[in-house]
Structure 1
């Protein structure tokens, strides 16, 4: 199969997703990582639409990309003016990128909505592409709403493509802008387009949206049908339901379709890239995301775990390390001895250290899960629990005491204050801090106390905090489960606490989170 060109539009189409926002500096950092992994084209934004994108392209002029071609995005000229007089096209030229992506109207419905004529729309496409080619740019023409336009007016949709081809477009990208096209329609349409240009070969690309959950499927179907360029975003970020997720599309092309679009070395960086982009976007990674999610190669049932210990192919379609991921065995009331033995080996914990073997651990885990714990979602706490069961836990700090106070004045919002006393070895530290709530105050006070002994504690962030009432029939006396997700760069871990007191449960999860983080770096922990 012919090599496929990977075109990333995270920095443009990805930012149209809800809650996704990047500064110009953020975009530069992401662009460097995309280049490092071997992406062929990086669409940086629309310089004619906002100052931030314009600044990005100015900054990008100082960056030397080793693999990728930087792309500036824009639209065809406005109706009734010359291409050279269009300010947006002038911005594209001034961006000084080797490639330019231009979108044009394909669906006659949109042409009419704009108050334009079908003939003038064709002229806009032709003259814009011609103008950009005369300025020495590689031109990628995005046929917006192509599949919708093709369904309603095939002849006109094909005429728009001919206009772009006549102008000299290097790649024609067929866009499923509304995300409503089915894979079998993608295949039939691409074959028809290729036949329509018989005798004048055209390089086709594909741009899909995920409104029917088919963006990745449609993208790989297009490649199988002859497309040589795939557009998408990292983690599928994009407007509405998102774009084709390149963290799924790339490994499918490489490992399932034997399509040489990325080296094995770069493919193994995929998870780290996914985490970097989500962290930069301040978005929580999706656990069940294919290939790069934390749950992508996670096994919970005892029978499953027993099988993968003998041959991982029994329940895994791919070696996790291929994409930089790893196999995870989860602990729960569904677990068997195989789960415990595998998990202990993975975590570097020796079983039978004090007579506490896998059978006894399983029994204790099931009892605790009956009380409300859920260790399949709290790997950090489970590691600490195993160490405690087997007398191998060495805390990096010990709690001496804490006090939390919440005040409410008549017309003012609540304020929270926490005081924490900890010991590290033979040293004690007492600190106080405020927070937006009692748990926030407790977190701030603990972090402040630990900073004296472990300065790099600032690299750790709490990214998610969940509270669940286990059995609401007990009213305000009911047990609660607190789950905290923490992150340090591209590492994620979860910890858990259970109590009738929400502050106590929160402390359990919070303490485990910090103990787990500090234990990952033994040199920083005076007790290890």
Structure 2
């Protein structure tokens, strides 16, 4: 039986805290999932909100070459004929080729939550499947709380699956809704289901409350499940759903189950969905995170330079990622050489300057600097030690002011800069939204007449970290700035007891880096 991927990012994923998509966002993501090769895309619950209604209306006019769009809902209500239930009728009105709905498998939920009888619950499942099948839909039945239900009353839980099959369900999906089971429990119960219903197609839907969403899904697949439901980047209610960006490469690379045509697009897809959700990409995500193939310790770097698989379980390019060598106080010469060569400096082990660079990094990291995300500042450090640095200007003095008028209710931030540039004294004054922005504006005003290309630079991120918080307001501050010229991004760092000085250092590094690169291009 062919294995299938079922994505519920657009429905179950949006139940996660901080995850929101417009109807057009959903459509864009659906097309990306289709391009990637996902077999089923659950678009939402039609009728539950205007966005989902609009999505299904839009999707009707779209072409998907790989994926089938599914509408999600629930069984008919107790005591109501299925053809009279508005929710079921709305489910069919979405006009999708696939209908997925959930029903109760846990007897406690049947009697205490639905407040109906065991027989009526089975009838609700059977009737809803049959009604949707008679309407010409492919029907996927999600057996909610199946594993908890099985552990309490195994025969009743199995009887609800039998009811779905009697109605003609195409797929029985066993849902680990509370996320509290262990892999051996999952494997055992899925095996029992497979024994009872040998000809049924079985899927698995897990949650990550115990940190085992992916592990539990893999256990179910080993026990006979042929469909996995999950979300991109593990979005979902509480701690999230089974993470498709983790389970897909495990299936394809570790278990030999071919699920998508081109796994090299996985990292790109993961970042795309985060971008649309306006959420930061998780750096430590397996396979797709920026740290997934990063190496910091000197012995590790030495080893991966000789043989990558000595510390990498797969080639990073297999999933569209890449190896990263970090520079820190844990670095050895191999880290410095690798990073320097990556930045365009052709250095060899034992070459003049390599030890100086390494010593400087260790000293500055001890002072609070961090170069892992500040490649531009690291490049400038190398240039200074190797004698290849050309200063843009010589600072004579800068001054910032912040004034707040309590009665009139206005604020003013102003910066003045005095500098020597090419033997000429320059003096500028500018206002800004805060002292750092005012400094940035004054610095640009002074430089742009000589270096008009700096107009391309924009600051796209600004982070402040208190290094030794036990010192209170006298603690050192680290400022990390990310800049871009619209094509490339670079990071710079500044450290000081004064947040303004730390910001100034990172600002100057950003412009210095850009201009030094521009001159050497």
The two structures have a TM-score, normalised by structure 2, of 0.88
Deviates more, 1:496-505 or 1:146-155: 496-505
1-side partners of 2:272 and 2:250: how far apart? 21
Match of 2:149 in 1: 149
Match of 2:232 in 1: 234
Alpha-carbon offset, residue 401 of structure 1? 8.0
Match of 1:362 in 2: 358
Alpha-carbon offset, residue 441 of structure 1? 5.9
Give the direction of change, closer, same or farther, for the CA distance of 1:171–1:401 in structure 2 (3 Å limit).
farther
Match of 1:482 in 2: 479
2-side partners of 1:454 and 1:38: how far apart? 42
1:116 and 2:116 matched: yes
1:320 and 2:319 matched: no
Cα shift readout 1:336-394 (whole Å, capped 9, x = no counterpart): 11111111122222338xx7532221011111112111223433432343344335557
2-side partners of 1:131 and 1:412: how far apart? 69
Contact 1:73–1:92 (8 Å) recurs in 2: yes
Match of 1:97 in 2: 96
Contact 1:406–1:414 (8 Å) recurs in 2: no
Secondary structure of 1:375's aligned partner: coil
Cα shift readout 1:100-128 (whole Å, capped 9, x = no counterpart): 11111111111122222221111111111
Alpha-carbon offset, residue 187 of structure 1? 0.5
Contact 1:251–1:323 (8 Å) recurs in 2: yes
Match of 2:276 in 1: 280
Match of 1:221 in 2: 219
Superposition pairs of residues 323-342 of structure 1, within 5 angstroms: 323-342=319-338
Secondary structure of 1:268's aligned partner: helix
Secondary structure of 2:281's aligned partner: coil
2-side partners of 1:216 and 1:487: how far apart? 36
1:408 and 2:404 matched: yes
Instruction: From the CA coordinates, give the structure whose radius of gyration is larger.
Output: 2
2-side partners of 1:81 and 1:513: how far apart? 67
2-side partners of 1:8 and 1:488: how far apart? 36
Match of 1:499 in 2: 496
Cα shift readout 1:411-454 (whole Å, capped 9, x = no counterpart): 7988463558899x99x99795643x544666688899989856
1:169 and 2:169 matched: yes
Match of 1:20 in 2: 19
Alpha-carbon offset, residue 504 of structure 1? 1.9
Match of 2:49 in 1: 50
2-side partners of 1:193 and 1:357: how far apart? 66
Contact 1:275–1:490 (8 Å) recurs in 2: no
Contact 1:404–1:416 (8 Å) recurs in 2: no
Contact 1:276–1:489 (8 Å) recurs in 2: no
Match of 1:132 in 2: 132
2-side partners of 1:208 and 1:490: how far apart? 40
Give the direction of change, closer, same or farther, for the CA distance of 1:431–1:96 in structure 2 (3 Å limit).
farther
Secondary structure of 1:260's aligned partner: coil
Contact 1:447–1:457 (8 Å) recurs in 2: no
Matched residue pairs, number?
Answer: 513
Secondary structure of 2:5's aligned partner: strand
Match of 2:185 in 1: 185
The two structures have a TM-score, normalised by structure 1, of 0.87
Contact 1:356–1:389 (8 Å) recurs in 2: no
2-side partners of 1:444 and 1:165: how far apart? 69
Contact 1:470–1:481 (8 Å) recurs in 2: no
1:374 and 2:370 matched: yes
| Structure 1: gaps (5+ residues) | none
Cα shift readout 1:242-268 (whole Å, capped 9, x = no counterpart): 1111111011111111111112xx211
Contact 2:404–2:412 (8 Å) recurs in 1: no
Match of 1:39 in 2: 38
Superposition pairs of residues 226-265 of structure 1, within 5 angstroms: 226-263=224-261
Superposition pairs of residues 329-478 of structure 1, within 5 angstroms: 329-351=325-347, 356-392=352-388, 404-410=400-406, 415=411, 417=413, 432=430, 434-435=432-433, 437-439=434-436, 453=453, 461-462=460-461, 465-470=463-468, 472-473=470-471, 476-478=473-475
2-side partners of 1:446 and 1:143: how far apart? 63
Match of 1:74 in 2: 73
2-side partners of 1:519 and 1:141: how far apart? 61
Give the superposed CA RMSD.
3.4
Secondary structure of 1:376's aligned partner: coil
